[in-house]
Structure 1
Amino acid sequence: MTDARHHPRITPSTRILLHDLATRRDRDEWIVGRMATRTFVALPAAGARAVELLGEGLSVARTAELLRDETGEEFEISDFVGDLVALGFVARIGDRPVPDGEPPRASLPWLRPHQVRSALHPALPVFVGVLLLAAVVALIRRPEVLPGYRDLLWSPHGSLVLISAAAAGWTLVLAHELAHLVTARAAGVPGRIRLGTRLQFLVMQTDISGIELAPRRHRLTAYLAGIALNLSLASALVLTLALADTGTTTHRLLSAALLLALLPLPFQLMVFTRTDLYFVLQDLTGCRDLYGDGLAYARYVFRRGTRTGTGDPSTRLPPHERRAVRLYSLVLVVGTVACLTFMAAVTLPVEVTLLVRAARGLGPGHGLAGNADSAAVLVTLGGINVLWAVTRWRNRRSAVQS
Structure 2
Amino acid sequence: MTEIQLPDQAADTPRPLDLSRPVVLHTLTFLEEGEDVTVGRQDINSFCVLPADGAALLKELGAGRTPEEVASWYAQTYDQEVNMQDFLEAMEELGFLAADAAEVRQVAPVRWQRLGRAVFSPPAMAGYCALIAAAAFEMARDHRLLPQYHNLFFSPYVMVISLTIYLLQVPLVALHEGFHALAGRRLGLNTSFGFGRRLWFIVVETSMDGLVTVPRRKRYWPILCGMFADLLSIAVLTLIGAAARRPDGSEPLAAAICLTLAFATLIRFLWQFYFYLRTDMYFVAVTVLGCVDLHEAARRINSNRMWRLLRRTDKLADEEELHPTDRRVGRWYSWLLILGYGFSLGTALAFGLPAALKVVQLMWDHVAHSTGAGGVLDTVVFVLVNLAQGAFLGFLFLRERRRRRTAVKLQHVIA
Q: TM-score range by the shorter chain?
A: 0.7 to 0.9
Give runs of aligned pairs for residues 37-48 of structure 1, distance below 5 A: 37-48=44-55
Are the equivalent residues in 1 in contact too, given 2:30–2:213 (CA < 8 A)? yes
Larger relative contact order (C-alpha < 8 A, sep ≥ 6)?
2
Q: Which residue of 2 aligns with 1:104?
A: none
Q: Could you tell me which of 239, 245, 250 is aligned with 1:247? A: 250
Displacement of 1:50 in angstroms is 0.9
Taking structure 2 as the reference length, the TM-score comes to: 0.79
Taking structure 1 as the reference length, the TM-score comes to: 0.82
Q: Could you tell me which of 43, 59, 62 is aligned with 2:66? A: 59
Are the equivalent residues in 2 in contact too, given 1:287–1:321 (CA < 8 A)? yes
Q: Could you tell me which of 290, 293, 296 is aligned with 1:289? A: 293
For 1:199, give the aligned amino acid: L
Displacement of 1:348 in angstroms is 8.2
The alpha-carbon distance between structure 1 residues 352 and 141, as it changes in their structure 2 partners (threshold 3 A), is closer
Q: Could you tell me which of 263, 284, 293 is aligned with 1:280? A: 284
Whole-Å Cα distance in 1 between the matches of residues 85 and 299 of structure 2? Answer: 33
Whole-Å Cα distance in 2 between the matches of residues 379 and 342 of structure 1? Answer: 25
Say whether residues 1:26 and 2:33 are aligned partners.
yes
Whole-Å Cα distance in 2 between the matches of residues 243 and 344 of structure 1? Answer: 36
SS in 2 for 1:57: coil
Whole-Å Cα distance in 1 between the matches of residues 244 and 371 of structure 2? Answer: 39
Q: Which residue of 2 aligns with 1:139?
A: 139
Whole-Å Cα distance in 1 between the matches of residues 332 and 360 of structure 2? Answer: 40
Q: Which residue of 1 aligns with 2:200?
A: 200
Identity value in percent: 25
Are the equivalent residues in 1 in contact too, given 2:158–2:362 (CA < 8 A)? no
The alpha-carbon distance between structure 1 residues 329 and 358, as it changes in their structure 2 partners (threshold 3 A), is same
The alpha-carbon distance between structure 1 residues 50 and 315, as it changes in their structure 2 partners (threshold 3 A), is closer
For 1:308, give the aligned amino acid: R
Whole-Å Cα distance in 1 between the matches of residues 347 and 143 of structure 2? Answer: 31
- Write out per-residue CA displacement over residues 191-225 of structure 1, whole angstroms, 9 at most, x where no aligned residue: 22122211111111122211111233442222112
- Write out per-residue CA displacement over residues 36-95 of structure 1, whole angstroms, 9 at most, x where no aligned residue: 3221110111111111110111011221233334334333333211211122211127x9
Are the equivalent residues in 2 in contact too, given 1:120–1:221 (CA < 8 A)? no
Q: Which residue of 1 aligns with 2:161?
A: 161
Whole-Å Cα distance in 2 between the matches of residues 43 and 239 of structure 1? Answer: 50
Displacement of 1:314 in angstroms is 6.5
Q: Could you tell me which of 397, 401, 408 is aligned with 1:392? A: 397
Are the equivalent residues in 2 in contact too, given 1:15–1:60 (CA < 8 A)? yes
Whole-Å Cα distance in 2 between the matches of residues 160 and 96 of structure 1? Answer: 58
- Write out per-residue CA displacement over residues 354-385 of structure 1, whole angstroms, 9 at most, x where no aligned residue: 6899699679x763212331233123322222
Are the equivalent residues in 2 in contact too, given 1:64–1:74 (CA < 8 A)? yes
Displacement of 1:18 in angstroms is 0.7
Q: Could you tell me which of 330, 343, 347 is aligned with 1:325? A: 330
Whole-Å Cα distance in 2 between the matches of residues 46 and 122 of structure 1? Answer: 41
Higher mean alpha-carbon deviation, 37-46 vs 245-254, is at 245-254
Q: Could you tell me which of 22, 31, 38 is aligned with 1:15? A: 22
The alpha-carbon distance between structure 1 residues 120 and 126, as it changes in their structure 2 partners (threshold 3 A), is same
For 2:28, give the aligned amino acid: L
Whole-Å Cα distance in 2 between the matches of residues 163 and 351 of structure 1? Answer: 16
Whole-Å Cα distance in 2 between the matches of residues 114 and 127 of structure 1? Answer: 19
For 2:335, give the aligned amino acid: L
Structure 1 residues without counterparts, runs of 5 or longer? 101-108
For 1:59, give the aligned amino acid: T
Alignment RMSD, CA only?
3.8
The alpha-carbon distance between structure 1 residues 358 and 388, as it changes in their structure 2 partners (threshold 3 A), is farther
SS in 1 for 2:292: coil
Are the equivalent residues in 1 in contact too, given 2:158–2:359 (CA < 8 A)? no
Q: Which residue of 1 aligns with 2:260?
A: 256
Q: Which residue of 1 aligns with 2:4?
A: none
SS in 2 for 1:394: helix
Q: Which residue of 2 aligns with 1:106?
A: none
Structure 2 residues without counterparts, runs of 5 or longer? 1-11, 408-415
For 1:113, give the aligned amino acid: Q
Say whether residues 1:88 and 2:95 are aligned partners.
yes
The alpha-carbon distance between structure 1 residues 32 and 125, as it changes in their structure 2 partners (threshold 3 A), is farther
SS in 1 for 2:237: helix
Whole-Å Cα distance in 2 between the matches of residues 401 and 321 of structure 1? Answer: 22
The alpha-carbon distance between structure 1 residues 344 and 157, as it changes in their structure 2 partners (threshold 3 A), is closer
